[in-house]
Structure 1
């Protein structure tokens, strides 16, 4: 199966017999999620970009990190239409080998960058509350810009191996563009991709849980109401990041590991392998929702963003339409 696109991969004759026509249901669900991602994520991120560039008067380090999260989302929004087109053509990739590698590279970079900047925003909230006098809490805009730049360098460097590997495979007369294929000898670049897919989830996830727990404990120890209000805002921001992070990325990682375990250690259990693959195809769809969910992170992580959005005419009109629709 493809750890980016969610497409099951034919490994051998046994695996071929395990896969049936039911896989179309998973592909259809994936198409629906990607269409939702475009229709919801694109307007939300355009509004966020407009606020950051044209309405934000005062900049703080966490605003820089949120802006970079928006930029990461646009990599996904650019790439998804090509995946929709491919799924609608029965997995037939018509855009050539070069764009196949670039497309999968952009999807992988979006995932890595989204995870990285979500984690950085959460840790920034954690240090501001728990360690207000730490040098990280005193970070300047210049330091934040350098950190964001180094994050992009690390993310891109980690995913460059995808650009050096031929990811376009032939299945008869059909070209398949996948980041996960059957190899007699797995290329080094693909191995790095597999390891990164799993590792870049678990470490940040534990950091998010740790930050949430520490801020919650700190909240219980505070007696001043003004201090409690500030801490509550921080824990709300970290909690929203943790929920979005877990919802979007955990299902695909867990089901992907289960499916790989069954394929490698129990290759004859076709029924179980097929079910695990279908489950993975469903769960990988949630990864595409991270861009549509990120506006919630902007809203709860920055009071300035929240106030600007609430005062904007487009937000007021949208709220009015929702209220009128409910009536």
Structure 2
């Protein structure tokens, strides 16, 4: 029984099919809720805000929403696999394409989240200093560079066994010692990519958030409501990042330990189920990102309500200027720069 269960893990078969059907239902709910929300926000960035002409960091936010939408399109495929009792597609091409999309777009979502936080850090903590990011954020070059830098990081993750966490498993080395060495190096590289993609941005976010909160708390003049909104915003970023990405990182660490230490197969299977469940939780980021980054701006919220739900719009809320030629009127430094 134990040996059969072990092969089920190797073949990426979902041992507890009822649990994976529940995971699939959660992903479908996330997809249904997040897709229209992200699509409507993307529509506003293109048609109303004209992000490419903006003097704010709307270019970063546009790319963040775009990455979340592309990631959302992977969820129906993942949900179908889970319903079929598979942890990933049995088709090799579909499996690798899914891994490419998942890691590229999730990495892009984390990257633009981090870059936007760094930009806000300089605006709040060092408002008078010039920096390269501040100069480049008005053009799409830095966004294109981020996407291009993420492409090489997806190469070691596009391996068939990665998603089922067969890394660092000596029991499947059937080739020569040279083949085993190559496999071990590839395993280490792809795990380093997985962990650094989350842990390094988390450290940067912690640093930026702590300094922003301290700076805002020391500020004694200005709009108190705006200051409280800014503190709430950066704190929410940390909460969402911790909720969506840190649990799956810790679960993967435990799963790797289970494989390296050769724990009992039943224990490893349970660790795999926990890891898959927390990976599903990480997709909640696609639903929470637009709520935090876009709707914490009173002007963006008013524009969104005026466009899609005008009967909810209060008369005393001013709409934002959508033309790049009215920068003096909208003064977007605090409101349009929603992070």
1:300–1:22 distance in 2 versus 1, CA, 3 Å:
same
Which ranges of structure 1 fall in alignment gaps of 5 or more residues?
1-10, 170-176, 320-327
Which ranges of structure 2 fall in alignment gaps of 5 or more residues?
174-179, 315-339
CA distance in structure 2 between the partners assigned to 1:89 and 1:21 by the alignment: 9
Question: More relative contact order in 1 or in 2 (CA 8 Å, sep 6+)?
Answer: 1
CA distance in structure 1 between the partners assigned to 2:96 and 2:9 by the alignment: 28
Tell me how many residue pairs correspond in the alignment: 297
Q: Root-mean-square deviation (CA), in Å?
A: 3.2
> In the alignment, is residue 41 of structure 1 matched against residue 34 of structure 2?
yes
> In the alignment, is residue 213 of structure 1 matched against residue 210 of structure 2?
yes
Q: Which residue of 2 aligns with 1:201?
A: 198
Out of 248, 251, 267, the residue aligned to residue 247 of structure 2 is: 251
CA distance in structure 2 between the partners assigned to 1:284 and 1:94 by the alignment: 16
> In the alignment, is residue 32 of structure 1 matched against residue 25 of structure 2?
yes
CA distance in structure 1 between the partners assigned to 2:9 and 2:100 by the alignment: 29
Q: Which residue of 2 aligns with 1:262?
A: 258
Out of 282, 297, 302, the residue aligned to residue 287 of structure 1 is: 282
Q: Which residue of 2 aligns with 1:111?
A: 106
Contact kept in structure 2, 1:18 and 1:271, CA below 8 Å: no
CA distance in structure 1 between the partners assigned to 2:285 and 2:238 by the alignment: 12
1:301–1:190 distance in 2 versus 1, CA, 3 Å:
farther
How far residue 309 of structure 1 moved from its aligned partner, in angstroms, is 1.5
How far residue 161 of structure 1 moved from its aligned partner, in angstroms, is 3.7
1:250-296 CA-to-partner distances (Å, cap 9, x unmatched) read: 1111011012112212x244454343333222211112222112111
1:262–1:32 distance in 2 versus 1, CA, 3 Å:
same
Out of 148, 160, 166, the residue aligned to residue 143 of structure 2 is: 148
How far residue 137 of structure 1 moved from its aligned partner, in angstroms, is 8.3
* TM-score, length-scaled by structure 2: 0.76
1:62-87 CA-to-partner distances (Å, cap 9, x unmatched) read: 21111001111122122222222222
CA distance in structure 2 between the partners assigned to 1:237 and 1:71 by the alignment: 21
How far residue 112 of structure 1 moved from its aligned partner, in angstroms, is 0.7
